[in-house]
Structure formats: structure tokens, C-alpha cells
Structure 1
């Protein structure tokens, strides 16, 4: 460090070249505190923040866990307390548009089903994202993702989660809970992990990990189940959705005063309204309960509607406890505050009242019976979640010294915000492609460059990402060779240099191959100008593109105004490309989902006989150019076919 400072200090900023070991050391310093690093940069010659960003350029993001995140977490959490390192693991899915993209740097096709340890030939249409979030200190870190087809394999999901939890422990990160929604595979996962109502946890390396469902998702499902079934029986009491709907439809002027925020989207089923937690929370609220009781007393509603009012009020209190974000209640008599282990008698009594309410509510929910053929999973989901929260709070108090727990941090809220950012990276697309999703995932990690929370009391307003990666262009086109980005798909309009007795399809196919041979020949002579091979590849009569009018006309239709990117190929070169095309069609389906796809193809394509090249090296370069360019067009054709298929629900 001393010798580096002696050399760099006399130099001006634009002349400084930062050694790699100094950049690595500076990154470690930056993790300890950005403010201290900025002050240190005024005294020493150390890389600026921009250079630290660029140092992550070489990081490749692959499905599975990101290894660099483990290293960053270990450095960052080295001085944190055990309470601050305790976290919850969230995972959720995001739909993807079926699409394939060739990454020329890694020689790999992006878009196939990939769990990080296993790839298949199925095109992925779902991505599962895993994040960890602090329970005491407010921080969030995406750590893994996988690409899958339709439904996540339960065995692969179980292996991923257990591996993540085991690998996070040596880094100082202790996962105490796993939270997800009520997807079918998530229920299968809970059963496979051995989670029951009596013991809502599974054990990893001697530590209990509690299994919960997302509380906002449970609330929405309860609203939807009641609206679809119309009736819910709880012992001798009956809860009816019609009571809420009748209240909303009353023409009484007092109704508008009592239910100012209730709209049609709250009451009637709609695709958007079913996914909004706020609508369900405002229906199952104390305000709705009060309004029902008022109109029952005014004889505007059936007296039995009072049972629906009781249900709404109890669900409101339950949601307040399981979605708390403040230390003290926002209104008198509310349970909407954090679970607390404060020794103060008044606060201890309030916390005990919360716990007693949760225990009684779990027993109350066990009596639910919806008027439907099959009992919904929501009933068991509520019981499992409430029991897990009670066990988790007891564990955190006794073994980790927790003084309070904001239960809202157990929800999927922060993971949902991360997924929304992924969509916004591509003009708010609900279903980005796999390549776009991976680029957005990496881009978002870099946006919050090494930002560290200023407080550790859990009340910071903004979650921060602890480990960052280098931003990549938010476009799938960035994965292609710049020489290949300008290529447009070939149109089915062709011009042959010789008249042949072939049908229209064969004519188009031959024209496409001819112009493709000209393009590969042009790339070969510009990138590998061999004086022996190039004359054999180009036509002796028309070496200039502008002199060949027919090919010029066709290339203008294909490549646009700039037709200089195509060379007139010799007849022997064209026949060689035809042979390569036949081998390509034979083997591409076999190797497309494999690693080093172009290299795998080249091993087969090199068997095509020829007498054009002076050495195997020249032939290998030509075949490699053909393979990469042909892969690009092949994937574009596959994507066009995928877009024509009906979307999978």
C-alpha cells in the first residue's frame, strides 16, 4: 500500500491506473463504511466509487446461488451482533416470456430450464427468486434464482433452500424462518420438510427454521374464498359475503360517510382487485364491522349480519398483529404494534394480550367451514402461520435476545418490491424474458452500490442491498456479438444467381443460404485475413459487393442500406456452407441446452469435407463464425414460433 501511494500520489487523476490488488483492498474498505471511505479518499490515492463498480464487470450471474454474495455478506456482517444477523428467507415466482438468447461470451443459450445444477431442453417460463431480510436490522439481499418450466420441482426447491441455509451459516447469516405464498408446490414443500401444525419448523444443522405463509396472501385468499363460497360457518355462527355486499349497495346517505374508501373493486371480483392486499384489508376492517352494526341497529340489514361484523373485526385485529411495523399502537385498543419483550408491566401485559389473542384465534380458525366442495388450504395456512409466529417469537426472545419483532418483516413485501423493480427495468413488462430478467436482477443489485444502513434499530425506511454486482446493459441484445446485432431475420424473398427447377420453398431456402454464406465469408476475411484461404472463398468474377447487382438487391432487403457486410461467395464456398447447414440442422437440437453450445456444434461441423482452407485453424475459425451466427438466427426463429404459441396459464 505504501509503495502504491508513493507511485500514484504525484500522478493526476486521468493518468492513474489502479492495480487489481488495490481495487480488491478498496472494495473491502468500502464495505466497512462508505462515509469513512470517502473521507479516506481525500487523504490517500484509492479508487473512486466508479472504479469499484467497474471491478464487478467480469461477474457472471448464473442460476442458483451467487457465490460473490456469500463473500460480501461475510465481510459485511463480521462485526454485526447475532441479533442483527438473524434473518428470514423469502421466495416467490415471477412469470417469464418464453424466449431464448445466445450469450456469445459464455457460449451458452439463456432461457432454458436451469436450477443451477441441472439444465433441461424445456424453455423456461417462470423464475423463482430467493431473498433474505433482516428481522432486527432492516436489510434485504437477493441471493439466488432459478429458471423453471411451469411448476417448480419440489425436490429441486427443497435442495436449493437447504443448501442456501447451510451455506449462509458459515458466513454468519442465520436463517430462522422461511416465508412463501400458498402455491401448490409450496404446500408440497412444507410436507416434504416435515412441517406440521404441532411443530411448524424443520431443522438444519441443529437450528430450527420456521415455515410460514405470507400473511397478506392469506388475507386475500380468505376474502376470495368467502366471496366465492358466499358462506362461512364458524361453529353456530354464519358469516355471509352478501351482508357486506348488501351494505355497500344500500342507498342510505350514512353509508357513504361510514365507508368512504370502499369501491366496486373492493366488493366485486376483478382481475386486478383480487391481487391487491389493501382492498381485502379494508373489507375486513374495524370500520366495516362498525358500519354493519350501525345499519343492523337501523334495521337496514338482517340481525344475523352482526356475526359478519364480528368476523371482520377479528380479522382486522389478526392482520394488525401479523403485519405490525410500529413500536406503539396507531389507535387506542388496536393490536397493530410490534411484539415486545419489554420488562415494563404495562407493555408486557399488552404483548401477552397479543399472544393470547393469537392462540385463541388459531383455535377459532380451526372451526371454519366454507360452503364449498373442498376445504381451502387457507384454513390450514392461517393455523400454521399463527403457530409458527408464536414459536418463532419465543425462540428469538430466549436464544437471540430480541426485544421486539416487527411482524411485517415476515411478509413478502420487500421481495415483491424487488420483483417490481425487475419488471420496471424493461418498461414495466409483467413478463420479461429470461435474459431480460437476469440482466435486471444484476442491474438492480448494482444500483444500490454498497449502501449500508445508518441505524440498526430496525426503523430505517429504506431496505438496502448489501452485495452488489456490475451493471450490464438492460437488453438481451447486449448478449450478442456487436457484429451480429445489426443482423435482421431473413425475409422470405430471394433472388438466385442461377435459374433452377425448384419449387418456391427450395428457392427461398437456397437464397437464404447463399446470402448467409456471403455474410460468413465477409466476417472471415475481415477477422482472419488469410492470404491463402480468402481467394478460395470469394467469387473470382465478383469480388466487389457493388458489382453483383442481384446479391446487392437481396442483401439490401435483408441488411438494410449498408450492403457492404456481404461478400459474393465462391460456388465451392456456397456448397461448403450447405453442408454445414445440413449438419447444423442434424445436431443443434441435441446440443442447444448444453454448456459451450457453439464449441459442441463445431466438433460436429468440422467433419464436413472441404478443400478450401489451408489449415485446420482456418477451417475452425470459419466454422466457429458460422456456428455463432447461425445460432443467433436459429434462436430468433424459435422465439418467433414461441410467440405464436398460446400462452401457458
Structure 2
């Protein structure tokens, strides 16, 4: 990890640090071209508004500060940009900006191009870019011409693939399943309905069992009290193979209605998609969590899954269709398209393998 050896050179001044880029240049000049491919993550987080005097720089810290434009507004959030290797194992925070609210699309564009340019000058190539689905990041992608079916930007003959953070997408899918029934149609034409009621029934059925079918389904995971909806960990416990198998078992035993298979099928397929976007081992017991190669089944699974995702309809308790307002579906389809294009470029005709877990915001 590069940041461990150069953290002492990070200044308290917002914006790009020449020291970091100078030391990164020395670190990367002897690595291979593939190892120079990096993922860039952009994320914002809230801060407690406060002003502090820094005697070393003789400045007051806490105002909105984009380095090239400092205002009198007191900042309440921070934008952080970090890179990590796609093939080489390293990560490095690059810069931060204090801001009032969110950073607008115009400022994001200027910051992004400047960072890509500086990285290219020292030999690093930005191949992927990851953000969440915050409204400012969605507007920024539109400004760059990024679309669901063509999530790619060509900058000075350099292709950059845009992703939404996959863990955030799956958290959003869980939250919408909690709120709506999801009607889905398989590629064979079979229609099923995923319902949170089936998950609650599985949990209730397990309450008095000594050996539970879904031991990770807890009251907090099922009822989702305050702040639980913000946690990815509670989402993957629901959209899992264990929950799918548990519901299927109760249906087989006659303890749940046959319609509950719509929920088990949904949980299993979403679980498989998450595994593909979270590969982290070379050879493990769960084959879809193993590294992705040009001839592996991961890309085939994603390809046949796209029509199924397109079929999702989100129906409320009032019977109305709320599908048009669901952003996570478009984000997931965009990610699949970006991943197929990325794999075609970097894996086809090579013996390289890819860990998809490196294309998310976990480093941040």
C-alpha cells in the first residue's frame, strides 16, 4: 500500500498535493502497464460545521475550499478522491475538498479532468471511476455524456468506464424490496413476485427453531429500524443464498405458499449478481466469488440476467407501479454494461484475471 509510506507528505491544504504525485511517480515508474491501471473513487461525507486555525499554514480551516476557489461559506461536507490498483494491490488517497452541501457537476468535471491528467503525466491510467447515486454525481455523469447503455468516457484516447458503487446499489434494492413488492419475469416467461412478507415469515418460522434455516436473519435485519437501512451488511443478509434456500425449504414442506418461490428466486439471482461484482479469491468454494477471466461464466451470467432485471416492476400496497422512480435498477444495468465492456478490453485474449471487488468504494 503506497499511502503507508507517503502519508507524512500529505498536507492540510485542500486540493492536489504535488508531493503525493511526485512520490507516486517514483513508485510506479518500474511497474508493468497492466499494473498502472487504476480505479478512481469519488465520495462525499457529512462533517460537523466548525472553524479551526492551523498555525503551520496560517489559515482558518473549515470554509468551503476548492483550492482554486475559496468562499466564505462554512463547509459541512467533504469530497474525497482515492485511487486503487485494478490489477496491482495498492490504494492511495489523492485529495479532498471542503464544501457546503454537495459538489456541483461543473466543479466535479474540472476536478476529475485535472486528476486524470495529473495521473497520466506520472504514468497511471484511470480505467474505471466509481461514485454513488447521489443527485450531483448523476447530474455529473449526464454532463459527461455517460448513459446507461454506454457508460464510457473517452479522454485523450483513454477509455474510462463509469460504475455506481455496487454495495450501495444492493442496499437500495433491499430498501425498495422492503417498501414494494417486486414483480419479475424470468427468461422462460415465468412471472414471480418478491415480497418482504415472505422474508418476515421465514424469520418468524425460525424464531423457535433450535437449528435455524436463516441464522443471520435477525429482528434488526427484518424490521429495519432507524439507520439500519443505510447499512450494506443488513442487505446482503436478506438478498442471500441462505434466505433463498430457507424459503424454498418451507415451500417444499408446505409451511409457506408456492407464491413465495418468487421471493426465493429473486434473492438467489440478486445474490449471484452481488457475488460477481464482489469477486475476491482465486479459487474458493463459491465459484461466482472467484476471480473473473475471459473464459469464466461470470460474464455469461450477467448477460442472461439483464432481461430479467429489465422486467422488474415495483408495486406499492396501493397497487400502483412505482418503477419509474427507482434509480438502482438503472444503476445496476449500467454497471453490468460497463463491466462487460471493461472485461472485453482488459481480459480478452489474455491470461489476466480480475477481482471485481476492486471496482467499488470499499477503499474509501
TM-score by length of 1: 0.52
2:341 paired residue number: 391
Aligned to 1:358: 302
2: CA distance, partners of 1:256 / 1:153? 52
Partner of 2:150: 199
Q: Is the 8 A contact 1:102 1:109 kept in 2?
A: yes
Equivalent residue in structure 1 for 2:242, among 263, 267, 287: 287
SS of the residue corresponding to residue 412 of structure 1 reads: coil
Q: Deviations over 1:88-144 (max 9, x none)?
A: 001111211111122344332211111121111110000011000001111000001
Partner of 1:405: 354
- Find the counterpart in structure 2 of residue 130 from structure 1: 81
Cα distance change, pair 336–67 in 1 and its aligned pair in 2 (3 A): same
Aligned to 2:291: 338
2:311 aligns to what? 367
8 Å contact kept, 1:166–1:204: no
When structure 1 is superposed on structure 2, of 151-160 and 130-139 the one drifting more is 151-160
Secondary structure in 2 matching 1:65: coil
CA positional deviation for 1:288: 0.7
Deviation at 1:298, TM superposition (A): 1.7
Q: Which runs of 5+ in 1 are unaligned?
A: 1-30, 35-48, 342-347, 416-649
Could you say what secondary structure the match of 1:328 adopts?
coil
Deviations 1:313-352, CA, capped at 9 Å, x for gaps: 1111111111000012323xx41111114xxxxxx3xx1x
Deviation at 1:64, TM superposition (A): 1.4
Contact 1:166–1:205 (CA under 8 A) maintained in structure 2: no
Over 3 Å counting, the alpha-carbon distance change for 1:257 and 1:97 in structure 2 is: same
CA 1:193–1:402 in structure 2 vs 1: closer, same or farther (change >3 Å)? farther
**2:253 aligned partner:** 298
The structure-2 alpha-carbon separation of the partners of 1:398 and 1:252, relative to structure 1 and needing over 3 Å to count, comes to closer
1:42 aligned residue = none
CA distance in 1, matches of 2:337, 2:117: 24
Secondary structure, counterpart of 1:335 in structure 2 = helix
Cα distance in 2 between the residues matched to 1:158 and 1:363: 33
String of CA shifts for 1:464-510, please: whole Å, max 9, x gaps.
xxxxxxxxxxxxxxxxxxxxxxxxxxxxxxxxxxxxxxxxxxxxxxx
Residues 375-400 of structure 1 show CA distances to partners (whole Å, capped at 9, x for unaligned) of 2100100000111111111111259x
Q: Could you list the per-position Cα deviations for residues 235-284 of structure 1 after superposition, in whole angstroms to 9, with x for gaps in the alignment?
A: 43211111111111126755852112211121111234223322211211
Q: Please tell me whether Structure 1 or Structure 2 has the larger radius of gyration of its CA atoms.
A: 1
- 1:549-560 aligned at under 5 Å gives the runs none
Which ranges of 4 or more aligned residues in structure 1 deviate by more than 6 Å? none
Distance 1:179 1:69 in 2: 21
Kindly provide the CA deviation profile for residues 5-53 of structure 1, in whole angstroms up to 9, marking residues without a partner as x: xxxxxxxxxxxxxxxxxxxxxxxxxx9xx9xxxxxxxxxxxxxx9xx99
TM-score by length of 2: 0.91
Q: What do residues 414-450 of structure 1 show as CA deviations (whole Å, max 9, x unaligned)?
A: 11xxxxxxxxxxxxxxxxxxxxxxxxxxxxxxxxxxx
Aligned residue for 2:57, secondary structure, equals: coil
Aligned residue pairs: how many?
A: 351
CA contact (8 A) 2:241 2:271 kept: yes
The answer for the alignment partner of 1:209 in structure 2 is: 160
Q: Which runs of 5+ in 2 are unaligned?
A: 186-190, 317-321
Per-residue CA deviations over 1:562-608 (Å, capped at 9, x if unaligned) read xxxxxxxxxxxxxxxxxxxxxxxxxxxxxxxxxxxxxxxxxxxxxxx
Equivalents in 1 of 2:204, 2:70: separation in Å?
A: 54
CA distance in 2, matches of 1:402, 1:71: 32
Q: SS of the counterpart of 2:249?
A: helix
**CA distance in structure 2 between the aligned counterparts of 1:76 and 1:233, rounded to whole angstroms:** 51
Q: State which of 279, 298, 317 in structure 1 corresponds to 2:272.
A: 317
- 2:148–2:331 Cα contact (<8 Å) kept: no
In 2, the alpha carbon distance for the partners of 1:104 and 1:258 equals: 59
Structure 2 distance, partners of 1:309, 1:123, is: 49
RMSD over equivalenced CA pairs, Å: 2.2
Alignment of 1:624-639 (within 5 A): none
In the TM superposition, what whole-angstrom CA distance separates every residue of 1:179-203 from its partner, at most 9, and x where no partner exists?
1111111111111111112211111
Residues in 2 aligned to 1:181 and 1:204: alpha-carbon distance in whole angstroms: 22
Q: Distance in 2 between matches of 1:120 and 1:189?
A: 22
